[in-house]
């Protein structure tokens, strides 16, 4: 469990080592508006959902909490009745490698992002989540994800959030795209992206090992309390 938790800290350390602080820019990367590296920003649709998540054969609209932690959690959704979806309505289903962005939330949680690790066919984006598609000849989504999570850069983004309520602030597409950011060379970004996906495979293996360990420990505990060891 500790190794799994350290994996993300490792990636953040690798990011800083490769690219430096994205605000002070000690490595002297080009600085341009984010719009330079973004092809499109796609919003979802906030359907009327139930208070419980969908089953495997149902449809669900994602909650903001599916992104808030920085890890994509598809189980954080609300079941949507098929009859409540207008005919021909275009739903945005997250796919492997997509960068999701939370445009609205409390100030400390707004601008949360994550990379989707597996294709999703039964949960779709609400209007408070964006799918940010980058120009992969200029900026890779894995790089942008960790750029946004860097505290000083995130502060630059969240300081632009507006709203009448402190509990729900919003970042507009215009302000997001106008935010200045570093643009490292593509080769360095590709190297970071490769490390990111290798770490995801390692974390998946650790998760499977943890499940096996937990099951073995539970079995041993039951046998011990039953006096069968």
The torsion of the CA quartet 106, 107, 111, 113, rounded to 10 degrees, works out to -60
The answer on pLDDT for 122 being more than 60 is yes
Instruction: Grade residue 210 by pLDDT with cuts at 50, 70 and 90.
Output: low
- Please list the residues that pair with 62 across neighbouring strands: 77
Query: Which pLDDT belongs to residue 215?
Result: 62
CA–CA dist 100, 62 (Å, integer): 11
What are the tokens at 162? Answer: 């507006």
CA–CA dist 102, 148 (Å, integer): 11
CA nearest to 74, candidates 53, 57, 92: 53
The answer on pLDDT for 212 being more than 60 is no
CA nearest to 2, candidates 221, 226, 215, 210: 210
Average pLDDT over residues 177-198: 97
CA–CA dist 123, 80 (Å, integer): 9
Pair 79, 58: CB distance under 8 Å: yes
More confident residue, 221 or 160: 160
Query: Which pLDDT belongs to residue 107?
Result: 78
Query: Which pLDDT belongs to residue 93?
Result: 98
**pLDDT tens across 2-48, in order?**
776 788 889 999 999 999 999 999 999 999 999 999 999 999 998 99
Query: Which pLDDT belongs to residue 2?
Result: 76
Query: Which pLDDT belongs to residue 223?
Result: 63
Q: Residue 228 phi/psi, 5° resolution?
A: -105, 10
What is the pairing mode between strands 123-124 and 59-62? parallel
Instruction: For the beta carbon of residue 228, count every other beta carbon within 10 angstroms.
Output: 8
For residue 99, give the DSSP letter.
E
Report the mean per-residue pLDDT for the chain: 91
């Amino acid at each position: 469990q500790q190794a799994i938790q350290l994996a993300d800290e490792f990636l953040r350390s690798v990011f800083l080592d490769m690219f430096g602080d994205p605000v002070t820019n000690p490595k002297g990367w080009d600085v341009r508006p984010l719009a330079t590296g973004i092809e499109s920003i796609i919003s979802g649709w906030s359907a009327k959902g139930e208070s419980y998540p969908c089953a495997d054969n149902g449809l669900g609209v994602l909650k903001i909490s599916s992104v808030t932690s920085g890890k994509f959690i598809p189980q954080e959704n609300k079941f949507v009745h098929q009859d409540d979806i207008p005919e021909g309505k275009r739903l945005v289903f997250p796919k492997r490698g997509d960068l999701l962005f939370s445009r609205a939330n409390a100030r400390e949680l707004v601008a949360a992002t994550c990379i989707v690790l597996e294709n999703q066919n039964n949960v779709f984006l609400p209007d408070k989540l964006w799918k940010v598609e980058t120009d992969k000849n200029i900026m890779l989504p894995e790089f942008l994800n960790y750029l946004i999570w860097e505290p000083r850069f995130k502060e630059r983004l969240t300081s632009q959030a507006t709203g009448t309520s402190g509990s729900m602030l919003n970042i507009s597409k215009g302000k997001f795209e106008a935010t200045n950011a570093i643009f490292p060379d593509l080769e360095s970004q590709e190297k970071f992206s490769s490390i990111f996906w290798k770490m995801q495979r390692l974390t998946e293996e650790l998760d499977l090992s943890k499940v096996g360990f937990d099951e073995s420990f539970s079995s041993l505990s039951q046998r011990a309390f039953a006096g069968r060891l």
